[in-house]
Structure 1
Amino acid sequence: MRTLTKLPFKFLLIGFISSLFLLACKPEPGPIIGPGSSDIRINQIGYYPNGIKKAVIAVEPTTLEFALVDSGSKRTVYQGQLSEVFDWPLANEQVRIADFTEFQDPGEYVLYIPNLGNSHPFEIRSDVLNPVLEGSVKGLYFQRTGMALDEKHAGKWHRPAGHPDSLVAFHPSSGKQPGTIASPKGWYDAGDYNKYIINATFPLGQWFRLYEEYPETIPDDALNIPESGNGVSDYLDELKYELDWALTMQDEDGGLFHKLTTKNFEGMVMPHQATAERFIVGKSTAATLDFAACTAQAYRVYQDINPEYAKACLDASLKAYRWARENPEVLFSNPEDVHTGEYGDNDVADEWFWANAELFVSTGDSAFLEQMDLEAFDFEFRPGESWTGFMRFLGVFSMLDSGSFETSDSNYQHLRAGLLGSADELLRRSGQLPYFQPIDDFHWGSNSDVLNAAMILAQAYQLDPDPKYLQGVRQAADYILGNNPVGYSYVTGFGDRTPLFIHHRQSAADSIPEPVPGLLSGGPNSRLQDTTNGTVYPENVAPMKAWVDQEPSYASNEICLNWNAPLTYILGFLENQAD
């Protein structure tokens, strides 16, 4: 029989201390996990390991303790204390903050508060936002006109083709003699089935900006679209489907027709069932300048991939620019018999700036630079500008990123200082506002305002890699993905609680319970323009809660190209900053 050797006391003591250490490090058994509480607002997709991580608690809890619980093992992995109370009138809430930034272990978790419950589940991992990023671009595929969406690529959202637009009649407002043109391809603009040049080319500029900065973000075969596997980035393939249509809308004289629409919005039917006659409507300086800017960008983007196509884009850009110089103030308003989206703009200074900037970067011709008064540039970000004004910032982004100026050049220094000043003001504002996002006025498409402001912060971070700018971008994404006063992830199909009843004709008519995925809902809109259209808001609703998941709510719950564009940019930017 083997005998046990008596151990010295010091070894017994070491063993005892080691046992205590192991017990202390072992995760504690956690609570029973239930459905996510709408009173715990959190990014429902997740967080980067080294990123800021905050949740908002919208009711007063019975305890100030919170815990992170592993969704698989149901064990508590982190504990913390809630903050003091914050009073946020824009949301009509008094809240506390749960800050778990220091916890970095990858996994899937919920945030738990005793007697209140747990949050929706979320992940911590290095590529946590990539599925939403790719989904935001795949969402554009579901908006394609003129082609059937087959089950292989569209899954349960497959459908017949609608609107081939092979014979589109000229409306008298186009200035053309009676006749037709072919204007195929492109995406449906929003919840309706029409196509608009301004709201095609402006968002294309935002999508192209992501590619110019991070061309490897979405490679070939990433999106499962018909072009996948052709050796070209799926991202560029999808954008080209829209750009191909825009090129058909240029008149022989270089000007751009304003839109291709029916005279009235169609009903809530599938695309192939929407058969009202469609028209080429109007011509405008704003549409022409946005097109000139966008196609100048496209020249740079496609130059190494498809040189012939790139050259055609630049030629079209210069032709459009010449028309605009000859027709500098052709403003658009709907003809009396047309009642679809107007996209009117009575001040085209921002469009002029963008067009001159992109053509200067693409051609190097100083004549375009001479047309810009850089000293007078307006660096103030204003919510609600979107497609009427934000494009001026796109011009600044391109000039600062392109190497067109030496960094010692006074023009470069002026633009850099102005952009950083704008970013600092947005950060100052977001530090004082509910849910750490940078806007305090909620217009139609307010979610795109949050994301456009975040684009300025992202550009600032690339000019000056101060972590405060990156943190601001991440918190804007948190807001969009669930850390907001209504407790929804605003992107369809992504998150535990997302919109089901968006104002989107295909989603309303296809008999599928879930809407088309990857589309960004417009967000809170304190103007409440749709209350006579069957939309019901809570009485005396706070500005940040002026959003409802109701199909009639075109003012708060529609989708639109110029809302998805900055979403894609911000998600792509963040994925490229992940460790």
Structure 2
Amino acid sequence: MKYFLALFEKNNISKFSAIFLGIIFLFSCKGEQPQLGNDYSEDIRLNQIGYYPNAIKKAVIVDHTGSSDFSLVDAITKEVVFEGSLSDAKEWDLAGERIRVADFTSFSQAGSYHLYIKNFGLSYPFQIANHVLKPVFLGSVKALYYQRVSSALDEAHAGIWKRALGHPDDSVLYHPSSGRSSGFTSSPGGWYDAGDYNKYIVNASFPLGQLMLLQEQYPNTIADATLNIPESGNGLSDYLDELRYEINWTLSMQDEDGGLFHKLTAKNFEGMVMPDAATSQRYIVGKGTVASLDFVASSAMAYRTFLNVDPPFAEKCLEAAKRAYVWAQENPNMAYENPEDISTGEYGDKNFDDEWFWATAELFLSTSDTSYFNILEKYPVDFYFKTGESWTGYMKFLGMFSLLEHKEKLPNDYYAKLKKGILEQADFLVDKSTNLDYFQAIDDFQWGSNSDVLNAAMIVAYAYRLNRNPEYLTTVQQAMDYILGTNAVGYSFVTGFGQKSPMFIHHRQSAADGIVDPVPGLLSGGPNSRQQDTSEGVLYPENAAPMKSWVDVEGSFASNEICLNWNAPLTYILGFLENESN
């Protein structure tokens, strides 16, 4: 009955109709059909959105009843359409569970289904269909619109998540750490970085790099007038329109000498209020080599991204990238640290090798200037993926991916070295995912672990572009299964998608807007065994296993915040799958 009451809640049918449908359903379950019960089982973990027909399809079952068989039930006809046996039970320390696996890969008929297990009940509903993940993909991109700074979100484009303009950023003071002792500037636009209201060059450039990589590889994935944003209908892809909104802000953060200011923030994080109520003075803070190099890379990519649709804008981006690179060469070791009076996100880094590699690679590809390649060859290439490195170390992979996209510009031996390294790392990640309980390729759960799952999947996805090994595609698909419900907490981690998704993300608008549902399309950070927010009163399950160190609590910035650099690989992997799985 809970399923039909959910229909009432989500689809605005009358409660009487929902109960009536439920009664009909229960009376129809007779004869050889299973007794389905009234509730979804929290112990059947699967992709709550669904599976591509030809994909691997597996659910993970928490074993505590001795049931050994499962069946698929058509959600419309209530007929059993497939039956199978569960795998042997196995204990897993990462999740602190004894689990079995239901494998229904061989069933590929399009439709809506539940998985049913005696003594458990029904799984959440899911679909099998071509383009099954397209709504989540588009939702992950539309989420960027909801993060826009210096813009009101009107009802025509934002629906119930409409809001007033916040942070015009037209009178931003220079903090002394910027190298300016006085004055103010205008630096509007861009996207709010995370659950807070600040803007950071490092964590704008890194996500832009991942998002533009998707555009370079699959340029026709999102057409004009697809996302319902203010620019829809202007003749340019909505995807490019949204990217340009962020790029324009990064361009405004370049100093006259070519270097990049590190961030634009208030001195402290604002409270959980709407953007227009967060009125603390904002500052241009810091300046450094890492921000400048990341800007070089994303701006050089922007040149290639926009060259055929807006040449003047593309040239502007490339010239800005060149100027920032010269500044970085003149200031190669300027590390950023928060000044004493600034407590917002630091995004600091002490090792600049990956930023130099990425920036130099993108400039070489955009200019074909061999002097950049001569510099590039001097940097050692490390193919090892390390959890938790994210914006401090993953840039090396973005550089490799871009270089491998342009085989014609590389010497054969250099291309072969990159290809070999990516394939070997992908093989390592495939092997790891095959031998873990929820088929994800990581076994260390740190801050933003969901982005680690997806960043690892990006490496495997690129390997698939190099070598159409079906194991690579399966690993990427199962990474998305993990994100969308096949995980130890049984949540789809993307707001607004799936029957059980986060409702209390650490996100100021979602907390303050008075709307029950959070802003959709945002990825929760995921399990974090370090639990850095317990000192702030966040309570996790007692003795939580690493994969269960997550709570759907507004205050849990360590496990349930959202962030641009988590949404970007989500968008990339969803876009990759929509292009490669159908």
TM-score, scaled relative to structure 1: 0.94
Aligned pair in 2 of structure 1 residues 367, 33: CA closer, same or farther (>3 Å)? farther
CA distance in 2 between counterparts of 1:66 and 1:429 reads 27
Which region of structure 1 is more displaced relative to structure 2, 218-227 or 296-305? 218-227
- Which residue of the partner structure matches residue 215 of structure 1? 219
CA distance in 2 between counterparts of 1:451 and 1:517 reads 19
User: How far did 1:33 drift?
Assistant: 5.7
- Which residue of the partner structure matches residue 85 of structure 2? 81
**Contact 2:407 / 2:415 at 8 angstroms: preserved in 1?**
no
2:119 is aligned, of 115, 135, 141, to 115
The answer on 1:348 being equivalent to 2:352 is yes
Q: What amino acid is the match of 1:220?
A: D
Which aligned pairs between 1:244-283 and structure 2 lie closer than 5 A? 244-283=248-287
User: How far did 1:34 drift?
Assistant: 3.5
CA distance in 2 between counterparts of 1:210 and 1:241 reads 17
Could you list the per-position Cα deviations for residues 400-443 of structure 1 after superposition, in whole angstroms to 9, with x for gaps in the alignment? 0123446x700010000000001011111112222011111111
CA distance in 2 between counterparts of 1:195 and 1:316 reads 19
Q: What amino acid is the match of 1:521?
A: S
**Contact 1:164 / 1:184 at 8 angstroms: preserved in 2?**
yes
- Which residue of the partner structure matches residue 385 of structure 1? 389
SS at 1:79's partner residue? strand
The answer on 1:515 being equivalent to 2:518 is yes
The answer on 1:572 being equivalent to 2:571 is no
- Which residue of the partner structure matches residue 437 of structure 2? 434
User: How far did 1:374 drift?
Assistant: 6.8
TM-score, scaled relative to structure 2: 0.94
2:307 is aligned, of 293, 303, 306, to 303
- Which residue of the partner structure matches residue 547 of structure 1? 550
CA distance in 2 between counterparts of 1:396 and 1:374 reads 14
- Which residue of the partner structure matches residue 3 of structure 1? none
**Contact 1:31 / 1:75 at 8 angstroms: preserved in 2?**
no
Q: What amino acid is the match of 1:523?
A: G
- Which residue of the partner structure matches residue 465 of structure 1? 468
CA distance in 2 between counterparts of 1:283 and 1:272 reads 27
Could you list the per-position Cα deviations for residues 185-232 of structure 1 after superposition, in whole angstroms to 9, with x for gaps in the alignment? 001000000000000000100000000000111111111111111111
User: How far did 1:32 drift?
Assistant: 3.2
Which aligned pairs between 1:149-548 and structure 2 lie closer than 5 A? 149-373=153-377, 376-405=380-409, 409-548=412-551
User: How far did 1:534 drift?
Assistant: 2.1
Q: What amino acid is the match of 1:409?
A: N
User: How far did 1:478 drift?
Assistant: 0.3
**Contact 1:183 / 1:249 at 8 angstroms: preserved in 2?**
yes
RMSD: 1.2
Q: What amino acid is the match of 2:171?
A: L
Q: What amino acid is the match of 2:80?
A: T
Q: What amino acid is the match of 1:494?
A: F
User: How far did 1:124 drift?
Assistant: 0.3
SS at 1:346's partner residue? coil
CA distance in 2 between counterparts of 1:352 and 1:286 reads 8
User: How far did 1:367 drift?
Assistant: 1.1
> Unmatched 5+ residue regions in structure 1?
1-26
SS at 2:259's partner residue? coil
Q: What amino acid is the match of 1:515?
A: P
User: How far did 1:29 drift?
Assistant: 3.8
Q: What amino acid is the match of 2:549?
A: A
> Unmatched 5+ residue regions in structure 2?
1-30
Could you list the per-position Cα deviations for residues 330-388 of structure 1 after superposition, in whole angstroms to 9, with x for gaps in the alignment? 00000000000000001111000000110111111111111124783110000000000
Percent of aligned positions that are identical = 61
CA distance in 2 between counterparts of 1:364 and 1:85 reads 56
CA distance in 1 between counterparts of 2:431 and 2:114 reads 30
**Contact 2:63 / 2:89 at 8 angstroms: preserved in 1?**
no
Could you list the per-position Cα deviations for residues 428-485 of structure 1 after superposition, in whole angstroms to 9, with x for gaps in the alignment? 1112222011111111100000000000000000000000000000000000000000
1:49 is aligned, of 39, 48, 53, to 53
User: How far did 1:63 drift?
Assistant: 2.3
The answer on 1:556 being equivalent to 2:559 is yes
CA distance in 2 between counterparts of 1:254 and 1:374 reads 24
CA distance in 2 between counterparts of 1:336 and 1:490 reads 35
CA distance in 2 between counterparts of 1:334 and 1:558 reads 21
2:74 is aligned, of 70, 75, 86, to 70
**Contact 1:33 / 1:74 at 8 angstroms: preserved in 2?**
no
**Contact 1:54 / 1:99 at 8 angstroms: preserved in 2?**
yes
2:44 is aligned, of 34, 40, 43, to 40
